[in-house]
């Protein structure tokens, strides 16, 4: 066999003879090597990738720092519906829209009205 650059390619059969394994096993190893070079894409990784590129999405920790709260308070507010969260990834991590957090900061609180 000859490749595009003029060098001779070794067949699976030749590799198998030199290594003392079957030609099929050489093919499986080569296929695995090709598959490992390709990035694995899952729905969760795509959602996280999009969320990372959008500066409007915040993690629970980032929201806690902005609001000067404990992380568990942010989680509780999310569970109570005070602050809307979106679940992403296979673990169901919370992500918050920056605008929702800013609205929470600017809206008058119930205690100051009464």
Round to whole Å and give the CA distance between 78 and 61: 13
**Residues 6 or more apart whose Cβ sits within 8 Å of residue 53:** none
Report domain extents, the chain. 8-38, 43-108
Measured in residues, the chain has a length of: 114
Prediction pTM value = 0.48
Helix, strand, coil percentages in the chain from 3-state DSSP, rounded to 5: 55, 10, 30
Record: fold of 43-108 = Multidrug-efflux Transporter Regulator; Chain: A; Domain 2 (1.10.1660)
Per-position pLDDT tens, the chain of length 114 = 445 566 677 787 888 787 788 888 888 877 777 666 666 656 566 656 655 555 568 999 989 988 889 999 999 999 999 999 999 888 889 999 888 888 888 876 654 444
At 42 the pLDDT is 61
């Amino acid at each position: 066999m000859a490749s595009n650059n003029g060098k001779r390619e070794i067949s699976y059969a030749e590799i198998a003879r030199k290594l003392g394994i079957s030609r099929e096993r050489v093919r499986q190893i080569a296929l695995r090597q090709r598959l490992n070079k390709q990035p694995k894409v899952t729905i969760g990784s795509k959602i996280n990738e999009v969320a990372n590129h959008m500066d409007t999405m915040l993690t629970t920790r980032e929201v806690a720092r902005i609001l000067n709260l404990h992380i568990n308070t942010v989680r509780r507010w999310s569970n109570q519906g005070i602050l809307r969260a979106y679940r992403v990834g296979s673990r169901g991590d919370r992500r918050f829209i920056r605008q929702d957090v800013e609205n929470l900061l600017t809206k008058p609180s119930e205690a100051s009205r009464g």
